[in-house]
Amino acid sequence: MTSPTTQSQETAATGILLTDVAAGKVKALLEQEGRDDLRLRVAVQPGGCSGLRYQLFFDERQLDLQPGDEVILPSFTFCSTANAYALRGAIPV
């Protein structure tokens, strides 16, 4: 059995927990870019050994969704796609 990793104490209400090692790597990558307007995005897709495949990438877009905004989604999609918007108060349609 492996020991649990130390996780950062601060998270946003709709954020994720990063280990201290992962947070350090993210910080180093941002410092290499020399920009402070990038956001870390996490995508989860079916596949991989555990049944899910995770993608981490930086994005300069800022989502300015307001509660009640409608977001058009494909009719056949993974449920987490709609949940990501619903958690921000938007209405998936």
- Per-residue model confidence as pLDDT tens digits over 15-58: 677 788 888 888 888 888 887 777 777 777 787 777 888 777 77
pLDDT at 15: 64
For the whole model, what pTM was predicted?
0.41
Q: Nearest 5°: phi and psi at 79?
A: -60, -30
Q: Six-digit token pair at 12?
A: 């946003």
Residues 16 and 42: beta-carbon distance below 8 Å:
yes
Tell me which residue of 33, 39, 48 sits closest to 16, measured CA to CA. 39
pLDDT at 8: 46
Query: What is the C-alpha to C-alpha distance for residues 50 and 85, in angstroms, rounded to an integer?
Result: 25
Q: Nearest 5°: phi and psi at 34?
A: 70, 25
